[in-house]
Structure 1
Amino acid sequence: MSTKVKIIIAVLIVMLLTLCVIAIVYVTSKKAISTPEGNTAPPPTENEVVNAPKMGRFDLGEFVATSRDEELHYIKIQVEVGFIGSLEKELEERKAELRDKIINILMKLNVQRAKEDYIDRFLHKDIERELNSLLGKSTSESRIIQVVIPTFLIN
């Protein structure tokens, strides 16, 4: 066989394999969005959308704390929490306790760990876990579900 024929056969094989992959992806995606009976799932009703839990936001303000490094460094962050349920009044009443807990978390960090934890979102999860623990809301319907840190500075 000549090289031209070999190239044409190779191109045809690649095209057939591509078509097979596209067909498999199409069938799999259709199965993924359908119900067990084979029908596609209907969109949520208006009642389901209205009854979805609403997330509130609460601003805890800015925090400045010294790091655990030998040299003097400051860690400055701003914290906002997202919550579900009726926590706003309790968050307002216990704001001083919540702020103290966040400052304690920050003061346990050195500069390198603070950067890594912020990038990997471990700092967000630590704050969320500690605040829910302080509020006694770790498994209830009313709890903090998100921590947002819009400002993160190290001096």
Structure 2
Amino acid sequence: MPIDKKTGKAFFVDPIMGRIEGYKNIKEFNKAVQKYNKKHGVKPLTKKKEGGLTEWFKQKWVDIGSKRADGSFAPCGRSKQKADAKRKYPKCVPLAKARRMTEGQRRSAVKRKRAKAQGVGGKPTNVSTFTKKYYGGMININ
């Protein structure tokens, strides 16, 4: 444990925080910080809200282009079975969004998806779920 020659205090050098005096190591320093926080009512930082890819995988994705007779939606995607080979290209959205959409919005999104060439350059084709008109602008649907 190094000791400062001028002050006579023990110190250590943390790679992130730099030089910290008065403590032998990072464990001792962390204990002192926790004790201070508890005494003065400092709350720990809250965990970051889950989002991004984690949230994306937790959502239930459905094909809004194939609504069943009972009102539910078929799950997203197609298999390589002959029965699925005849199915038209799916337009997938999270179930919560599918329920919020009107019938006209669903039809419009599916129509725009199927009108575009699929798999150009080996990449999936994405189209906006809602038109720009829905957001306050104009859009040409070709």
TM range (shorter): 0.3 to 0.5
More helix by share: 1
More strand by share: 1
Structure having greater relative contact order (Cα 8 Å, sep ≥ 6): 1
Q: Which has the larger radius of gyration?
A: 2
TM-score, length of structure 2 as denominator length: 0.32
